[in-house]
Amino acid sequence: MPQTIDPALGEEYRRKGYICIPGLLNQREVDVLNAATERVIGIDGPQVMREKNGLPHVIYGMHLLDPRMSTLARHPKLVAICEQLLGKSVYVHQSRVNAKQTGGAIVNWHQDFGTYHRVDGVPRPEGIMIAVFLNDVSDYNAPLMAVPGSHVEGVVSEASTETEAEDRDRASKYRYDITMERMSQLIDRYGLEHITGPAGSVVFMNMQVVHGSTVNITPLRRVILYLNVCTVDNCGTAFRRPEYLAARDFNPLQAAAENCLTALAV
């Protein structure tokens, strides 16, 4: 049966703007996704954002690059939870592999919907950022940080684009970072949390939650797979960015079989 969440988790999602479900995917599924990740990070192309030393940092459009990643998007647990939280079917607006290389880039404070609305023409914040942990994420290896409850603020207007990022000419020129002055106000009002959990944990986050992550100064691996989904009646209307950054396919995700990932194990 597809995974659904209990009312307490649903209430936590509405209040904080996100939930983390530890071990939602099992180790065999994580192994399949790790194998897919190793293939995807070896791809060279415009969808690969690299650190100054050349190592891959973010690979966009992962669900377009490997069948195991596209299958993850149709995993019955993920589809069922998104449909329960949003009340509608969803499509993939953007996907990416995020590899926190030791000493690599930070991700400044931002809202995903800030870019999706301003640049891609997504009308409403009816969508979820799904984050799948492929490693144990702890306090030490640059966990995702979020401002709980910040989704109620709407689109934060005090934002600017990053001018110094390594991928300034491609992805980050479309990201609207939130100023430190505004961040101080938000943290004073709502606080700040880091999101940790064992490999296989999955985060479901409202697209308006303010979040970011710092540098990984450890040798510990930290890879997170992201699927950003929107409701099927909330499609982008501007096509300024390539498909690996903003969807062209708005068909609803159809849940695959329960063993969809393990069936793809090599």
Dihedral pair phi/psi, residue 264, rounded to 5°: -100, 5
Local confidence band at 165 (pLDDT 50, 70, 90 cut-offs): very low
The side-by-side arrangement of strands in the sheet containing 223-231 is 18-21, 202-206, 127-133, 223-231, 90-99, 56-60, 48-50
CB 259 within 8 A of CB 32: no
pLDDT in tens, 97-111: 999 999 998 999 999
pTM: 0.93
**Percent of the chain whose pLDDT exceeds 90:** 87
Domains by residue range for the chain, with CATH: 7-264 (2.60.120.620)
Q: Is the pLDDT of residue 63 over 70?
A: yes
Cβ pair 256, 64 in contact under 8 A: no
**Cα 171 versus chain centre, distance:** 15
pLDDT on residue 140: 94
pLDDT, tens digit, 9 for 90 and up, residues 169-227: 444 466 678 989 999 999 999 999 999 999 999 999 999 999 999 999 999 999 999 99
Provide the greatest CA pair distance for the chain: 50
What whole-number distance in Å separates Cα of residue 5 and Cα of residue 26?
Answer: 17
Contact yes or no for 76/260 (Cβ under 8 A): yes
